[in-house]
Amino acid sequence: AQSVAQPEDQVNVAEGNPLTVKCTYSVSGNPYLFWYVQYPNRGLQFLLKYITGDNLVKGSYGFEAEFNKSQTSFHLKKPSALVSDSALYFCAVRDRRSGGYNKLIFGAGTRLAVHP
Amino acid sequence: GAGVSQSPSNKVTEKGKDVELRCDPISGHTALYWYRQRLGQGLEFLIYFQGNSAPDKSGLPSDRFSAERTGESVSTLTIQRTQQEDSAVYLCASSLEGGVSYTFGSGTRLTVV
């Protein structure tokens, strides 16, 4: 069965410092991997995804994520955090197989709090 | 349409009543998904429609939950005999068949009192 783990309920970081939000997954084969962000009372916004190619994926708002096949991880990173980055972050996976495997499976989410 | 549209945006219902939630996907998107998000928690997969194939209902939590989709258009999620534990935001998303770009709606916030 596919699953996604976000081991930290909350991550606290000072503004200007680098941030990492962790994600590991359990999926047969090589999955597609995604990060989404959710601001209070707003919808889910896409940040970035790994499909193929370079293991380092760059996305919106200065975020990036690194696919590590051996560790089955896809941690989200940003070199310098902003207070406005404070939100709920979700990692998601999708089976690469075709024919009815399109659904995204989400992690439980990590709340990022960036302090001034 | 330009995005995924969900209605109503908010719904308050009494325990035991039935509710219907609507999702209007992006035109041409053959795949449609329903998720449930309880307060402060992650997105739980409920059901997935792909064209004319049988839907993947593996995430529906009980037989009180059902969903329909007519062709490649609107979908309706029905919750019968609502319980307080059904209170959540119900999110709908759509994508092309086999696609890796998903568009989410703004959700329906359901409150069961």
pLDDT tens readout for residues B10-38: 999 999 999 999 999 999 999 999 999 99
pLDDT band at A86 (very low <50, low <70, confident <90, very high): very high
Higher pLDDT among residues A101 and B113, named by residue: B113
- Which among A43, A102, A37 is positioned nearest to B101, based on CA atoms? A102
Q: How far apart are CA B96 and CA B113, in angstroms?
A: 37
A104 contacts in B (CB within 8 Å)? 33, 43, 45, 93, 102
Q: What is the pLDDT of residues A16-72, one digit of tens each?
A: 999 999 999 998 777 899 999 999 877 889 999 999 889 999 999 999 999 999 999
Q: Verify whether the Cβ–Cβ distance B35 to A49 is below 8 Å.
A: no
Q: Which of B41, B45, B101 sits opposite A103 (nearest CB)?
A: B45
Torsion sign (Cα): A55, A59, A64, A70: negative
Interface test with B, best of A41, A46, A97, A102 (most B CBs within 10 A): A102
Q: How far apart are CA A22 and CA B32, in angstroms?
A: 28
Query: Phi and psi dihedrals of A54, rounded to 5?
Result: -55, 130
If you search the block for the tokens 């047969």, which residue do you land on?
Answer: A28
Q: For position B1, what pLDDT does the model report?
A: 54
Burial B41-58 (b: 16+ CB within 10 A, else e): ebbbbbbbbbeeeebbee
Name beta bridge partners: A106.
A92
Q: For position A40, what pLDDT does the model report?
A: 82
Burial B70-87 (b: 16+ CB within 10 A, else e): eebeebebebeebeeebb
Q: 1-40 in B: which are within 8 Å (CB) of A?
A: 31, 33, 35, 40
Q: Verify whether the Cβ–Cβ distance A102 to B48 is below 8 Å.
A: yes
Name the stretches of chain B with pLDDT < 70.
Answer: 1
- Which among A89, A90, A83 is positioned nearest to A114, based on CA atoms? A83
pLDDT band at A97 (very low <50, low <70, confident <90, very high): confident
| CA angle (B99, B39, B17) in 5-degree steps | 95
